[in-house]
Amino acid sequence: MASNMKAVAFFTNKGGVGKTTLVCNLAAFLSKKRGKKVLIVDADPQGNATQYMFDDSVIEEVYEKKTAYTIYSMARPLSQGKGFSSDSTFRKSPTFDVDVLLGDPRLALIEDTLAADWNSSGVRGLRTTFMFRHFLSHCKDYDYVFFDMGPSLGSINRSVLIGCDYFVLPLSIDIFSIRATENISTWLKEWKRRLELQISSISDIEEVEISDMQFRLQLLGYVNQQYTAKRDASGERRAVKAYEKIMSAIPDAIQKGIINDHQKISENIEYRIGSIPNLHSLVPMSQSSRKPIFSLKSSDGIVGAHFMKVEESNTIFEGIANRFIENIGELNDYVA
């Protein structure tokens, strides 16, 4: 994998946190406003990112005609024992200005195969485990490859996380998201242990056809989402009191649950990448128009006070993009 391309999984073990909205809008901001070349891999069998970024004609190709090249097209040959796929066809989202490996509900069909391979020893088990690491070796022309994922700790997500450099935690402000960080930490430790055992048991490691089998996943940061905010006396937006207590507990939970156990470096890193308060009607408007939130116009239904909200969303994603780039630089410099 090229050292300048970074693969980032957006993952938490809890649904309904606004993860897909974060992935697609951050990717669009980095492409449109920072000139970065971004690929989104829709690795969630629900295919929400694909439905968000493309019009009905593309969705029809995926769901009804089944003629589009999707993540299932990429994964299926390996699941059938035919080796790694040599093909990769991406679609450009004209409104989000990013390339996409389309999602596909049929991806769920190979979950059991990947799980069985993980529990078996030998070359096949490692090949499927490193399926996405192999895929990423063909994505060297991108600055970033983002993975939108479902909330499970199943075999598809395990393969994604093992393949990536970093992961971002999107967190809704509730106790369940805090508990989810504990689950993730426990499973990461177990996956790393099992992976090291599998690798050590292979006598002819070259048969796996993966040159880099290092487990290098690190936390890039977290984003607080879906809370109610109001402006204080200084004009700064702050979470209302109902959310403040839980929000204040998040840094400590992440420090104890993930940073202490998994990070190679913790100093000089601000792990809170940003905060996205409830954007209310802007989100369904963005979904209906299939445009980034910060790109919404009057033709998309924006009226009155909504214009200020769109401007605020631009400021929010600008801050997240800046911190995202800064953290990658800090962590990459340390590892290098």
Q: Which residue, 165, 145, 284, 169, is CA-closest to 215?
A: 165
Are residues 274 and 323 in contact, defined by beta-carbon separation less than 8 angstroms? yes
The pLDDT, as a whole number, for residue 15 is: 76
Give the β-pairing of 91-93 and 98-101: antiparallel
Rounded CA gap, 148 and 164, in Å?
12
Residue pLDDT, tens place only, 106-158: 999 888 888 888 887 678 778 888 889 999 999 999 999 999 999 888 899 99
Per domain, the residue ranges of the chain are 6-335
Residues with Cβ within 8 Å of residue 73, at least 6 apart in sequence: 85, 87, 89, 104
Secondary structure class of 210 (helix, strand, coil)? coil
Task: Using the predicted structure, report yes or no on whether residue 268 has a pLDDT greater than 90.
Answer: no
Q: What is the CA radius of gyration of the chain?
A: 20
Q: Which residue type does 131 have?
A: M
Separation between Cα atoms, residue 245 and residue 252, nearest integer Å:
12
Q: What are 277-319's pLDDT values in tens digits?
A: 888 899 999 999 999 999 999 999 999 989 999 999 999 999 9
Q: Which residue has the higher pLDDT, 17 or 260?
A: 260
Q: Distance (Å, rounded) from C-alpha 275 to C-alpha 170?
A: 9
| 249 has pLDDT over 50 | yes
Q: How far apart are CA 101 and CA 110, in angstroms?
A: 17
pLDDT at 43 over 60: yes
* Residue 278: per-residue pLDDT: 83
* Domain at 6-335, CATH from 3.40.50.300, 3.40.50.2300, 3.40.50.80, 3.40.50.1820: 3.40.50.300
Q: Half-sphere exposure of 315 toward its Cβ, with a 13 Å CA cutoff?
A: 10
For the chain, helix, strand, coil in percent to 5 are 50, 15, 35
Average pLDDT value for the chain: 87
β-partners of residue 101 are 41
With bands split at pLDDT 50, 70 and 90, how would you rate the model's confidence at 2? Answer: very low
Residue 235 pLDDT level (bands cut at 50, 70, 90): low
Distance (Å, rounded) from C-alpha 100 to C-alpha 54? 10
Query: Tens digit of pLDDT for each residue in 166-184?
Result: 999 998 877 777 777 888 8
Does residue 243 have a pLDDT over 70?
A: no
Query: Using CB atoms within 10 A of its CB, is residue 71 exposed (0-12), middle (13-18) or buried (19+)?
Result: buried
Could you give the residue ranges of the DSSP H alpha helices within the chain?
A: 19-34, 48-53, 56-60, 71-79, 111-118, 123-129, 131-136, 155-163, 175-201, 241-254, 260-262, 282-289, 306-335
pLDDT given at position 16:
76
- Of 112-116, 228-232, 251-255, the one with minimum mean pLDDT is 228-232
pLDDT of 103 over the 90 cut? yes
Rounded to 5 degrees, what are φ and ψ at 193?
-65, -50
pLDDT band at 234 (very low <50, low <70, confident <90, very high): low
> Rounded to whole angstroms, how far apart are CA atoms 272 and 269?
9
Whether 229 has a pLDDT exceeding 60, the answer reads no
What DSSP designation does 107 have?
G
Q: Which two tokens stand for residue 183?
A: 């689950």
Phi, psi of 103 (to 5 degrees): -75, 165
pLDDT score at 183: 82
Query: Residue 54: pLDDT above 50?
Result: yes
Pairing relationship of beta strands 237-239 and 229-231 according to DSSP bridges: antiparallel
Q: Which of 125, 218, 123 is nearest to 165 (CA)?
A: 218
